[in-house]
Chain A
Amino acid sequence: MTADRLDDLLERTLAGGAIPPDASDDERRALEPLLAARAELLAARSAVDTEAAESMPAARARFQRYLAAQRPVPVETRVVTARSSLLQRLIGGRRLSLAGSLAALLLVAAIALFATRPFQGAQEVQALGVDDYVQVAGTVSSASDTTLQLQSPDLGAVTVDASASTVVDAQGNVVGRLPRPGEQVIVSGTVRDARAGRVAIAGQALALGAAIDIGSPSRFERIDSLPAAREGTLTLIAIDRDGRKGRAIVLLADGRRALVDVDPVSLGQVVAESGVPLGKRVRLGDGDGPGFNLERVDGDEGPGHPEGEGRGHGFIRLTGTVTRVAPDHLTLQVGDTTVTVRRPPGVRVLPGESGLSLADLRNGASFEGYTATVAAAIDPRDGTAIAALVVLGPRP
């Protein structure tokens, strides 16, 4: 039994699936442990295959954005890179309050939506990414039991997977039905597909009656320097999977639909001040870092934007300290009030300014004791808050 002989027998065994009949007993005894080791590997391989396939959309979107960033930039358009931790700064560190404001959530969503259009060309690639958290408004064109087709002025046709239990009315109450064709909605969810003509969002919460005027469908253009018309209406927000990059689409006064990276601090302020940012009037300014400074234009809401402090588009915002985390709910201490928040499957928990990483959260790190802001709907049957997004902040 030589090394070459064993090598040959092993290769023939691997190719044929059985130990060749000409192998001696000693050779069989030598080969059997090797086959056992291979069996361990094959058992693991199918899991790796699955994981590789499932990681591919996010990686594809990232590579598409990378490719898009390598293209020569047209003279009339410029690219600005967003600073990190936009979503985190948007929501984190706020004082405890129970107020209806989907702003943080909406802002985050708009940024994500912009960021997720990988296969529609350079602009789209830079605007959208798989796994981004996004909020977008549009009109329902068709609906089935579990899926909506939405016409978004920013994105065109969007497929939204939704459940009736996650649809809320303007008061934030669960209505128990999917939106009907012709109804306007704001969708809060996660981008599942960002390819041209296939933009799909896993809807975590949908708000009916979002009659904000976000303009007629038109192609957005990416802007990296201050336009002459600096004011406009916020129509979409989005944030990447790590909560570090945010983007927004602003319908400028000159009619252009502008995709911009935004300064996270300023975006946080807009969210904090105005609650639901979609439909809000905002002004773009130079930021200290990469990305524009975003500033709310006081008292000048976009047409149709719901007024009211802390509430809009059916979502509320809860900010407090997480006192308990369970698989299906978390407990938030909001001032003197203890609030139980339901966590439907798939709801994002973003690390924000907690100092935790996404990997920490995936590995089961506890975020009890951290502050958190939760964008949520209200189930009218029992008044329970239903989370659409959780963003962590630092420990108090």
Chain B
Amino acid sequence: MRKSGEGSHDQPPNGPADDAELAARAARRDHAAWEALFEAHYRAIYSYLRFQLASPDEAEDLAAQVFETAYAKADAFDYRGVPIRAWLFGIARNLARDVIKKRVRRGPAEDLETADLTGSIAEDDPAPGIHLRSDLARALHYLTEDQREVIHLRFILDRSVAETARLMGRSEDAVKNLQRRALAALQRALGGASYPGGGAA
């Protein structure tokens, strides 16, 4: 696990000052600023959605929607030190929730194998496919939404505890506790050795 500030999916602007300046330009719908935001945050947003939705097509589509939605709401964004990334993740979270709700309403037709993190790709399709283990895909779906989110932020997007806490609107202690419970739940769902209960919250 990299520590906070080390390389990760996206490369945010250099510090709060740049972030504030970029936010101001973005609020004015400066297209260059939005292109910079896209370059800086797309991959992280995609990865987040990929694990939420488990479909590469949906993840790509929704990741693009995140930036379109953000642009449309640019004048409503009040920077005040809140990282733009947190705002974008908030939009991504809401969009993903909407998709998941629609799935639930449609019924359980889509099983987790096909819904899917296995991401099967036509054999003639040169597009790269992600071939996550289907058991991992299933296991992730046994987690609560908060558990999945902390897993994504901490272990997929490599966010620090402090940043994860900011993004999730929780305290750092709560994030530490949540990540432990999430890993334990994941391990149980994967069929691994049962987690010794000591201290489990």
List the interface of chain A (C-beta within 8 A of B). 1-8, 10-11, 14-15, 17, 26-27, 29-30, 33-34, 36-38, 40-42, 44-45, 47-56, 58-60, 62-64, 66-67, 70-71, 327, 343, 345-347, 349, 358-359, 361-364
Q: Is B31 an interface residue (CB 8 A)?
A: yes
Please, which residue of chain B has its CB at the minimum distance from the CB of A327?
A: B123
Whether the Cβ atoms of A44 and B136 lie closer than 8 Å is yes
In the complex, A204→B162 CA distance in Å? Answer: 49
Leading 5 A-B pairs by shortest Cβ distance: A37-B187, A3-B199, A1-B198, A7-B176, A34-B183
Interface 1/0 per residue, B175-201 and A, CB below 8 Å: 011011001101100101111101111
Whether the Cβ atoms of A362 and B63 lie closer than 8 Å is no
Tell me which residues across on chain B come within 8 A of A62, comparing CB atoms: 64
List the interface of chain B (C-beta within 8 A of A). 1, 3, 9, 29, 31, 34-35, 38-39, 42-44, 46-47, 50-51, 55-57, 59-60, 63-64, 67-68, 71, 114, 117, 119-133, 136, 151, 154-156, 161, 173, 176-177, 179-180, 183-184, 186-187, 190, 192-196, 198-201
Whether the Cβ atoms of B195 and A33 lie closer than 8 Å is yes
How far does the Cβ of A1 sit from chain B's closest Cβ, in whole Å? 4
Please, which residue of chain B has its CB at the minimum distance from the CB of A64?
A: B35
Tell me which residues across on chain B come within 8 A of A64, comparing CB atoms: 35
24 intermolecular pairs with C-beta atoms under 8 Å apart: A2-B199, A3-B177, A3-B180, A10-B183, A11-B176, A17-B1, A30-B198, A34-B187, A37-B183, A44-B132, A45-B156, A47-B132, A48-B132, A51-B128, A55-B46, A56-B43, A56-B46, A58-B60, A60-B38, A63-B35, A345-B124, A346-B126, A362-B57, A363-B114
In the complex, A27→B200 CA distance in Å? Answer: 12
Tell me which residues across on chain A come within 8 A of B192, comparing CB atoms: 33, 36-37
In the complex, A48→B194 CA distance in Å? Answer: 28
Check A48/B122 contact, CB under 8 A, given A3-B201, A30-B199, A37-B184.
Answer: no
Tell me which residues across on chain A come within 8 A of B59, comparing CB atoms: 55
In the complex, A6→B128 CA distance in Å? Answer: 39
In the complex, A11→B179 CA distance in Å? Answer: 9
Partner of B46, one of A1, A52, A361, A363: A52
How far does the Cβ of A338 sit from chain B's closest Cβ, in whole Å? 21
Whether the Cβ atoms of B198 and A54 lie closer than 8 Å is no
Whether the Cβ atoms of B122 and A364 lie closer than 8 Å is yes
Tell me which residues across on chain B come within 8 A of A11, comparing CB atoms: 161, 176
In the complex, A359→B127 CA distance in Å? Answer: 12
Starting from the known contacts A70-B29, A349-B124, 10 additional A-B residue pairs (CB-CB under 8 Å) come to: A5-B199, A8-B176, A15-B3, A36-B193, A38-B183, A44-B156, A55-B59, A63-B35, A362-B127, A364-B121
How far does the Cβ of A168 sit from chain B's closest Cβ, in whole Å? 21
* B121, B130, B190, most chain A CB atoms within 10 A: B130
How far does the Cβ of A63 sit from chain B's closest Cβ, in whole Å? 5
Please, which residue of chain B has its CB at the minimum distance from the CB of A68?
A: B31
Whether the Cβ atoms of B56 and A55 lie closer than 8 Å is yes
How far does the Cβ of A200 sit from chain B's closest Cβ, in whole Å? 15
How far does the Cβ of B32 sit from chain A's closest Cβ, in whole Å? 10
In the complex, A149→B19 CA distance in Å? Answer: 40
Tell me which residues across on chain B come within 8 A of A67, comparing CB atoms: 31, 34-35, 71
Tell me which residues across on chain B come within 8 A of A327, comparing CB atoms: 123-124
Whether the Cβ atoms of B35 and A363 lie closer than 8 Å is no
In the complex, A1→B136 CA distance in Å? Answer: 29
Tell me which residues across on chain A come within 8 A of B176, comparing CB atoms: 7-8, 10-11
Tell me which residues across on chain B come within 8 A of A359, comparing CB atoms: 55, 57
Please, which residue of chain B has its CB at the minimum distance from the CB of A118?
A: B35
Whether the Cβ atoms of A26 and B196 lie closer than 8 Å is yes
Tell me which residues across on chain A come within 8 A of B129, comparing CB atoms: 51
Check A51/B71 contact, CB under 8 A, given A33-B184, A362-B125.
Answer: no
* A3, A42, A49, A59, most chain B CB atoms within 10 A: A59
Check A347/B64 contact, CB under 8 A, given A3-B177, A6-B199.
Answer: no
Tell me which residues across on chain B come within 8 A of A343, comparing CB atoms: 124
In the complex, A329→B125 CA distance in Å? Answer: 13
Whether the Cβ atoms of A60 and B42 lie closer than 8 Å is yes
In the complex, A59→B38 CA distance in Å? Answer: 9
Please, which residue of chain A has its CB at the minimum distance from the CB of B161?
A: A11
How far does the Cβ of A191 sit from chain B's closest Cβ, in whole Å? 14
Whether the Cβ atoms of A49 and B193 lie closer than 8 Å is no
How far does the Cβ of B12 sit from chain A's closest Cβ, in whole Å? 16
Whether the Cβ atoms of B51 and A48 lie closer than 8 Å is yes
Tell me which residues across on chain A come within 8 A of B39, comparing CB atoms: 60
Check A30/B195 contact, CB under 8 A, given A14-B1, A48-B47, A59-B63.
Answer: yes
In the complex, A50→B199 CA distance in Å? Answer: 37
Tell me which residues across on chain B come within 8 A of A41, comparing CB atoms: 136, 151, 155-156, 186
Please, which residue of chain A has its CB at the minimum distance from the CB of B116?
A: A363
How far does the Cβ of A192 sit from chain B's closest Cβ, in whole Å? 11
Tell me which residues across on chain B come within 8 A of A56, comparing CB atoms: 42-43, 46
